[in-house]
Each structure stands twice: as structure tokens, then as C-alpha cells.
Amino acid sequence: MTAITSAPTPWWRSRGVRRFARHRLALVGMVMITGLTLACVVGPHLLPYDALYVDLRARFSPPLTGDHYLGTDPLGRDLAARLLMAGRISLLVGFAAMLLSTLIGAVVGIVAGYRGGWLGASLMRVVDAFLAFPSIFLLLALAALLKPSPFVITVIIALTSWMEIARIVEAEVRSLRERDFVQAGRMLGLSSAHIMFRELLPNVVGPIVVAATLTVARAILLEAYVSFLGYGIQPPLPSWGNMLNGAQQYLASAPWLAIVPGIAITIAVTSFNFIGDGLRDALDVRSNEHT
Amino acid sequence: MFGYLLTRLWQSIILLVLVSIIGFAILNLTPGGPLSQFALTPGMTQEAMDRIAEQMGLNRPLPVQYLDWAWRLVQGDWGTSYRDGQPVLSVIGRHLFATLLLMGSSTVISIALGTWIGIRGATHRYSLFDYSATIGAMVALSIPTFWFGLVGIYIFSLKLGWVPAGNMYTIGDGSVLNYLHHLILPSIVLSLVNVAIWSRYMRTATLDVINQDFVKTARAKGLRERRVLMKHVVGNALLPMITLAGMQLPTLLSGALVTETVFTWPGMGRLFLDSLGYSDYPVVMGLLMFSAILVLLGNLIADLVVAAVDPRIRLG
């Protein structure tokens, strides 16, 4: 007699993965962001010029001059090399800021949603208060008061983008709070911490993953904004934002200085937004916003 | 209705207090605090610093300082600018018009364009237009506003020469037409994000309304499709958009700051950046508080308008 043990569906054939794959834009996003990340990691080693190599004779070379595929900047540095090195910083800051803000947002959201009462209400009012500040104003004020380093920039970006996640998680947890499995946990005498982070957290992973993906997009944009305005990542460390910082004055003579980094930012941010959108469909997250 | 008004007002006041605490914390808990300005003065001694701290009342307990600061805020005493010794509120007041002009015209563009795209997307669901609008909105949300501005200046000012590359008006020419000419490009740039958001919400809102019974009734009565759409669908779909307009205020203000920088537009955003450059913290803090108050006020007004317009809401 043959054993009729049906093998468990492998993860790559699970419903979520299949739905994600059907979402073509999300796949496009995945491919684009993987390509961009790989280029930023490996690319600088393959290019003929170092990102810091100054060649004053080759200043302002337009794209496709000799080996300068994307041209050079006002100091004659290779734009392609700088773009990829800047990508390392911008993507890293975006990703790290996402981790931190997701951590803050998830903890605040779970505690506020599970505890409810005056604690939950006060926490959510703090969220509302933070949301009242235009994020760029808050970000710039903090960046100007503190000494900007990639670490500080990451932290303050996280401090200005955890609120959305907190809101989403709070709403989810509040709807789960009276479910049987939570009641059972309480009756078993499990600690609140155990219920919150071992029982409830796994149930809100979907919305958190979606919000986190969109937060990467947001964080990359915010870094670009503050660095463009001169208060973010400081040169000589390149970031996509600060590469654009001086670009406006050369707009007439060397437009590629402004155009190229902006395209990189747009590609990275679009990719994360596409992926986030696909994940929302795949994980069947009730959409709080537009669909 | 009156009860709802009171509740909403009360909530706004609580939020305002929280906002002011956050603002005060930012001002005081950063390294150096309000004294950092004086620490850089050559020949500054510790005794002199202590004396200044005492004069400014900085040696008092923090809660006392906060209450003092907040009380002066309520009375309209927002401090004086380090740069020119003028009261902060009047400095902000001088830059308010330019920002409101930019935000206002951008809002008009976003509503007009966003509403049209949203409704068309909903009535022609899953058409090529709908797909393009969906993807377009996601890309638009991913483009950095300042970069969009730079590209706009490059194409429409430098290459085509259609519009000026910056400033609010030509010196010596204060005509309305001249203002409008300067306004076109920055307000379109600022609209990009909001058109995207507005069209997405409008599409959802229209889809919500379009299948409801009163719309079916209107159709069954034999009204023409266009009239059903204009009279019954759009009006009801626009209702939640009022709340959205309030919610989008912080984004709009952030966008205005960046747009003003790119277009040397003499508004609050430029003032904010200039003040940062001069370490003019009273003005920076003033703008931070002012914009948050503006946002709270905008949300309050939006909610009240919805309550007044929507017959279904009879709260309190």
C-alpha cells in the first residue's frame, strides 16, 4: 500500500507567493531594486574610475565621454562611480531607518491596541501630534540642531516616519484583542508581554511587512530631501540627495548632474512602492488607503 | 452638532498641547539647547554662560520653563528673530501670503485634475486609462518634488523659455498676470504628489458611490448617464475628499518648503531654510509650531465642513 502522504506545499508555490508573482508591477519592482542593489555593491569595483578620483581636466564631461559613462561632476569625478557609491549610503539609510521606525511603530501600535484605555488613547494622541508636523520641517529642524552623520540622519528619519505603522498596527491589534485565542492566552495566565509579542505580533506581520516596504520608499525620499537641502548626509560622503545639492546652479551647462541622481532615486522609490503594493495584494492586507 | 463641535474643539486643544510639548522638547533636549547660540561667541566664559542662562530663565525647572514658554506663545509673544530682532510672528506673517498663494493654486490644480482622473478611472475601470493612471500615480508618488522642479525648470524655462525659472514676480512689475506667469510652474510641481493621491482616493470614493441604491434609482428614473454622474456620484464622492484635503496639509506644507527652495519663492519654506542657515532658532521653532497649528486648524475646519455638509452626520 502506498502511503498517501501529501507533501506540504513548498513555500514558493504557496498562495501568497503565487499572488505576488501574478502582480507584474511588484515583480518589475523586485527586479529593478535587485539590479540597483547589485550595481551599487559590485559596480564601483568594475568601473574604470574611483568615486573620489579628481580629474580637473575632465570637469563637466557630458555622459558617454570616453569611459565616463554618465559624465563627470564639477571636480571631474566620475558620475557613475559616485552614483553607485551614493546608492550604497542612500539604500542603507533607507533600509536602516525602515527597521528602526518599524520597531518603534510596531511596539507602540501593539501596546496601544492591546492595552487600550487611557494608555492606548494617549499613545495614539502622541501619534496624531507627531503627524501634525510637516515631516520635512521636523526633519530639518532636528538635523540642523544635531550633528548630521549617517547614523543621526537614520535615527531622525525613523523618528519622523513611525507613526503610520503605529496606526495600522494599533487598528489591527484592537480588532484582534477580543478574539478567542487572546482570551485563551489570558485565561492560561500568560503575561501581557507574551500575549502581545508572541500571540498578537505574528497575526499582524502582514500589515507590518507592507507598511515597512512602503516606509523604505518614504525613507529614501526623506533622505534625498534633507540631503538636497544641505542638512543630510554631508560630503565628501556621497548620497543621491546631496549629489543634487549643488546641481541647480549647473542646470544650464551640465543638466546631467541634476537628471541622473534623480532618476536613481525615482527608480529605487518606485520599486519599493510597487513591491509594497504587490505585497498588499499577496498578503491580503485590508487596505487602509487607496487601492 | 454643537456637541460634536465642542468635542472636536477639545480634541484639537489636547493635540495642540502635545504638539507644543514636542516642540519644546526639540528646542531644549538637543545638545547645547537654546544656549548653543552663545557658546560660539569668542571669549565666552562659563560664568557668562551661567549669567545668560539665569537671565533667560534657563536654570528653572523644565516644566516651569515650558509653562512660561507656552503662556507667551498663547499671548502671541513668539520671541524675536536673532537675525533682525523682529517679532517672530510678524516675520512669519510677511512670508505667509506667498506660501498660501502657492498652496492654494496647487490645491486647485490637484482637485481639478485628481477628480477628473479619479472619476474617469472609476467609470472606465480596468481600461488602458485606468491602468496608466494607477501606475502613473505610483510613479508620481516616487518622484522627489525638488527633482521634478529642476527638470521642469530645465525644460520649460531654460530650453523652451516659456516660464520664469524662479521668484514670485519681476521687480518693477507687480501685475496679476506677472504673478500668474511665475506661479504656473511651481504650483504644477507642487501638485504632482497631490494629484496622485487625490486621483487614487477619488477613484475609490467614486466606485463606492457608483453602486449604491440611489445611483441605481437615478439611472432607473431614466436620467442620462452624464447627469447621474455629475449630480449624484461626484457630489457624494467629493464629500470624503474634504477630510482628505485636511489630512494632506502636512504633505502639502512639506512640498511647499521644497518647491519654494527650488523656485526661490519668498514663502515660509524659504524662510525656514534661511533661518536654519543663520541658526535663527526662534524663527525655526516659530515656523515649526505655526505649521503644526495650521495643520490642526485645517483638519478641524475640514471635519466641521463635512459635518455641516453631510446630512448623514448629525453627531452629538
Render pLDDT for B29-86 as a digit per residue (tens, 0 to 9): 655 556 666 666 677 777 777 777 777 777 777 888 888 888 888 888 888 888 888 8
Q: Is residue A190 part of a domain?
A: yes
Q: Which of B10, B117, B126, B142 to mutate to test the interface with A (most CBs of A within 10 A)?
A: B142
Domain that holds residue B95: 88-309
Q: Is residue B184 part of a domain?
A: yes
Residue A278: per-residue pLDDT: 85
Q: Is residue B59 part of a domain?
A: no
Angstrom distance (rounded) from CA A53 to CA B82: 41
With b for 16 or more beta-carbon neighbours within 10 A and e for fewer, the A177-216 pattern comes to beeeebeebeeeeeeeeebbbebbbeebebbbbbbbbbbb
Q: Is residue B139 part of a domain?
A: yes
Query: Which of A125, A217, A269 is nearest residue B18 as measured by Cβ atoms?
Result: A125
**CATH code for the domain of A151:** 1.10.3720.10
**Under an 8 A CB cutoff, do A258 and B150 touch?**
yes
**CATH code for the domain of B260:** 1.10.3720.10
Most confident segment among A54-63, A97-106, A242-251:
A97-106
DSSP conformation class of B25: H
Residue A68 has phi, psi (to 5 degrees) of -85, 90
**Under an 8 A CB cutoff, do B254 and A134 touch?**
yes
Query: Which of A25, A251, A290 is nearest residue B204 as measured by Cβ atoms?
Result: A290
More confident residue, B233 or A156: A156
Burial of B51 (0-12, 13-18, 19+ CB in 10 A): exposed
Split into its structural domains, chain A has a count of 1
Q: Is residue B62 part of a domain?
A: no
Q: Is residue A22 part of a domain?
A: no
Q: Is residue A212 part of a domain?
A: yes
Q: Is residue B142 part of a domain?
A: yes
B3: its cell numbers: 456637541
Q: From residue A55, how far is each of A75, A82, A83 by CA, in Å?
A: 7, 14, 17
Q: Is residue B278 part of a domain?
A: yes
With beta carbons under 8 A apart, name residues in chain A contacting B288.
Answer: 133, 137-138, 141
Q: What is the ipTM of this complex?
A: 0.85
Mean pLDDT over residues B133-152, rounded?
A: 91
**Under an 8 A CB cutoff, do B154 and A244 touch?**
no
Residue A5: per-residue pLDDT: 54
More confident residue, A54 or A227: A227
Burial of B61 (0-12, 13-18, 19+ CB in 10 A): exposed
Split into its structural domains, chain B has a count of 1
* Helix pair A163-176, A79-115: axis angle to 10 deg: 30
Render pLDDT for A231-258 as a digit per residue (tens, 0 to 9).
888 888 889 998 888 788 887 778 888 8
Residue A125 has phi, psi (to 5 degrees) of -70, -35
Contact by Cβ (8 Å): A143, A152:
yes
Q: Is residue A28 part of a domain?
A: no
Q: Is residue B61 part of a domain?
A: no
Q: Is residue B18 part of a domain?
A: no
Q: Is the peptide bond before A236 cis (omega within 30 degrees of 0)?
A: yes
Domain that holds residue A271: 84-283
Angstrom distance (rounded) from CA A109 to CA B36: 36
More confident residue, A57 or A202: A202
Q: Is residue A98 part of a domain?
A: yes
